[in-house]
Structure 1
Amino acid sequence: MTTSLELTGLTALPAQTWGAIRLVPLVRDEPIADLRLDARLYGDGPAAVALDRRTAYYAYVPHGFVATWTADGTPAAAYGTRLRHGDERRGDERRDGPPPCVPLRFHRRMARREDRGRLRFLPLHLALEGYLALHFGGPAVVWEEWSHRAVSQGLSPRVEQAYTGAEVAGLGDALRVFEIHPGQCGVLLYAADALAAAFVVPHPDDYRALHPSLLHDLYGELVYHYATLHGPVPDFRARIADGAVSTLAGLRAEAARQRAEWADFHTTALAGGLLEGDYEVQRVYRMGPFALSRFLPPFHRRTEQHIGETINHDDGRLAYLKTFRLSEHQVRRGHLLTRLAAADWNLEAAAALLGVTPAQLALRVEAAGFGALLRQDVLDHYRAEARRGR
């Protein structure tokens, strides 16, 4: 299924900046009360996720999200919510510890139902696994150019690199000192005014609890380098012309106009690369009136491309969103795999689609890190052709 992204029911407020980091708060006119999110911490060790009997996903997974929902629209409480017991005497208050849980080091599937009305899923990794699984099976037709490994193992293993938020310069300080607005249910995070990530949750209480989790999320190399190398970004301030306001009502109207202009500027300029275009959406799990899905971009080269995951209500409201901006190298690999699959992995047909020679395409496959999929003698032949300029 192909669809576009919309920040339905969310309004962008003026941004806050810290060095090269800009955070744009997103507030809801009305919180979504029948879906709640809570974090489940797993620690700093590496994790393995069993996708099926033959495939596993290995990554740094510091936390998972637990989604709790109701089917009849009544309010839901975040998983782990509990009453605190203790007597009223000062200094003698007994505090219960965190909800008991079993430490998890090996996960079963990216999204797994734990109880009626409760689903555990691994945020962002759900989207990354979808990207890594892109045409994972390799050639469907045994063309003579592909190696035995390509036919028998496909693209296994697929490897991509990312940085944690703790390694993105200025992000930790920004998350610590920035103000959380009343009603805030999300944020758009920019590095050097390049959109790095979007994060949306159903309820303001969920956002306050999950705001620090942005520091443990994964970010692409473009975001890391932009935050490290770029200087402070400008702060956009509202200005009212002298003589434009003479009454309190006029000042209120001018403030509303400035806020509306900021929201429009954000959705058309700053976040345009995320909201423009269509995405290939795959539904992962149905949760009553909600659906958990992940999406892939069309992999257009030299343009801003994002992968991510959403939870949408049947009425179209966006309850949850988390995105990851791909680097140009990752976009190039996705573009290459998509074109190869469209040509049934026939090198000559794929080269015609891309407007290059088979030799040039073979070298692109090698440069993208997929050289082991080609037979060595075929790759050597194409290298020789490229050297001869044919």
Structure 2
Amino acid sequence: MAELTLNGLATRPSQVWGGVRLVPLVREEPIEDLRLDARLYDADAGVVAVDPRTVYCSYIPHGYVATWADDGAPAAAYGTQLRDSAERDRAPDRMRLRFHRRMARRLDKNRLRFLPLHLALEGYLALHFGGPELAWEEWSQQAIRRGLSPRAEEAYTGGAVRGLADALRVFEIHPGQCGVLVHVADALAAAFVVPHPADYRALHSTLVHDLYGELIYHYAMLGGPVPAFGARVDDTAVRSLADLRAAARTQRDEWAAFHDGVMAGGLLGGDYTYDYVQQVGPYRLSRLLPSFERQRENHLGELIADDAGRLAYLKTFRLSENQVRRGHLLTRLAAGDWRLSTTAAAMGVTEPELVRRIEAAGFGYLLRQDVRDHYRARARRGAPGRER
């Protein structure tokens, strides 16, 4: 397990639109030898062949193409491919599908196409996807033969998150900006980082097409406006332009320390498992899986970083409490070799309570019906056992 750091990036004062707060991330030195551009897709849904027996289906509006130089020389992005406005506005006769080969696919020696955010979400859906490795008698034949298939989760596009599209439209892009942290009702919704300021300008608007969790959608619907950042300078201590610059730097640094330590603390202070996906020249593309610790923020993600830990690309997705609960439960079951008695003892609950949690998480179909009925009857009789 390791923490996530925004190595090479600095936080700047936020801008606010209603309940949406956008916090810019800037680089003093942009990354020149790795560039990103978007490929926009005109299909309503995408189908990705993860392996010969597994497919991933979702709304996939665009993919990213990473281009790099082996010798460290500056690389140029190919540019965003835009759809014709007449085709975009015309209602389709039927749902259109686009088929993709793998989440990350090398196009040539120095170019890699990957599906942003879906790379991270597929890692969550595949969490212990194979199900029980030992055929314990409690598990159904479906669980033994097919594991958790099919596995589904819900998310909302950025267009459904109230205020986000307007905030992105009026947002002022800073010089040197290479990323943004998106807060909704002052809850961190997503982080987005790219290698170069030109990449950010090209990809800034794609945030409205990204997926956001249930928690963020409801915060946007129910939350009110958030306060804007305001600098307070003691005018009695300012005697020159140098004093004013120093006071402004102090305010900026205090805001950055507060934001990174408190507002983004759930993202930056979490423990993550790094799952290597592909080599991208001198960089590595990896998935981030959280610890699934209950009663705290948990973020999925994907990143590109070099061996020194310098962050070139990052995109994250905040899980809802229900999604955290499912991830936590699957992790505990796998750690206990999918044996109910072992897992219940490790969690400090009774076996009927564990079965109740499995059913509440939507995984009841994995258990045999007679086993579920048996544990329900024990729970009604108030079977003694350990409780958390």
TM over 0.5: yes
Is 1:168 aligned to residue 161 of structure 2? yes
**Could you tell me which of 344, 347, 360 is aligned with 1:354?**
347
Deviation at 1:79, TM superposition (A): 2.3
2:56 aligns to what? 57
In the other structure, the counterpart of 2:6 is 7
Partner deviation per Cα, 1:31-80 (whole Å, 9 max, x = no partner): 00000000001124111000111000000000000000011100001124
1:277 Cα deviation after fit: 2.9
Q: Does the alignment pair 1:189 with 2:171?
A: no
SS at 2:51 equivalent: coil
1:337-348 equivalent positions in 2, closer than 5 A: 337-348=330-341
The 5 A counterparts of 1:200-219 are 200-219=193-212
Counterpart Cα distance in 2 of 1:29 and 1:170? 30
| Corresponding residue number in structure 1 for 2:112 | 119
> Could you tell me which residue of structure 2 aligns to residue 34 of structure 1?
33
Q: Partner of 1:92 in structure 2? A: none
Once the two structures are superposed, residues 340-388 of structure 1 have per-residue CA deviations (whole angstroms, 9 ceiling, x without a partner) of: 0000000011001111100110010001000000000000111111122
Contact conserved, 1:69 with 1:117, CA < 8 A, in 2?
Answer: yes
Instruction: Give the equivalent residue in structure 2 for 1:100.
Output: none
Question: Could you say what the CA RMSD is over the residues aligned between the two structures, in angstroms?
Answer: 1.5
- Paired position in structure 1 for 2:258: 265
Cα distance in 2 between the residues matched to 1:266 and 1:260:
10
Name the amino acid aligned to 1:157: P
Q: Secondary structure at the match of 2:145?
A: helix
In the superposition, the TM-score normalised over structure 1's length comes to: 0.93
Q: Distance in 1 between matches of 2:378 and 2:45?
A: 44
Which digits, 9 at most, give the CA deviation of each residue in 1:235-261, with x for residues without a partner? 120101241212221111111111111
Partner of 1:274: 267
Please say if 1:317 is aligned against 2:310: yes
Q: Deviations over 1:8-33 (max 9, x none)?
A: 11111110011110000000010000
Cα distance in structure 2, aligned partners of 1:138 and 1:338: 11
C-alpha distance after superposition, 1:260-305 (max 9, x if no partner): 1111111101100001132001110001101000010000011000
8 A Cα contact 2:294 2:324, kept in partner: yes
Tell me if structure 2 keeps the 8 A contact 1:39–1:63: yes
Q: Which amino acid aligns with 1:9?
A: G
Matches within 5 A, 1:221-260: 221-260=214-253
Give identity over the alignment, percent. Answer: 69
- SS of structure 1 residue aligned to 2:200: helix
Distance 2:43 2:212 in 1: 17
Match of residue 66 from structure 1: 65
Native 8 Å contact 2:65 2:113 kept in 1: yes
Give 1:199's aligned residue: 192
Residue pair 1:67, 1:79 contacting (<8 A) in 2 also: no
Tell me, in whole angstroms, the C-alpha distance in 2 between the residues paired with 1:43 and 1:21. Answer: 28
Residue equivalent to 2:89: none
- Stretches of 4+ aligned residues off by more than 2 angstroms: 79-82
CA drift at 1:104: 8.2
Give the Cα separation in 1 of the matches to 2:18 and 2:261.
23
Q: Which residue of 2 aligns with 1:301?
A: 294
1:321 alignment partner, SS class: strand
Q: Is the 8 A contact 1:111 1:122 kept in 2?
A: yes
Query: Whole-Å Cα distance in 1 between the matches of residues 56 and 17 of structure 2?
Result: 35
The question of whether the paired residues in 2 share the 8 Å contact of 1:339 and 1:350 is answered with yes
Whole-Å Cα distance in 1 between the matches of residues 344 and 357 of structure 2? 10
- Identify unmatched segments of 5+ residues in structure 1: 83-96, 98-102
Judged with a 3 Å threshold, the aligned counterparts in structure 2 of structure 1 residues 179 and 235 are, in CA distance, closer, same or farther, namely same
Shift of 1:7: 0.3
| Contact 2:46/2:99 (<8 A) preserved | yes
The code of the aligned residue for 1:77 comes to: A
Query: What is the 5 A alignment of 1:74-89?
Result: 74-80=73-79
State the 1:81 CA deviation. Answer: 8.3
State the AA in 2 paired with 1:223: I
User: Do 1:23 and 1:189's aligned partners in 2 also have CA atoms closer than 8 Å?
Assistant: yes
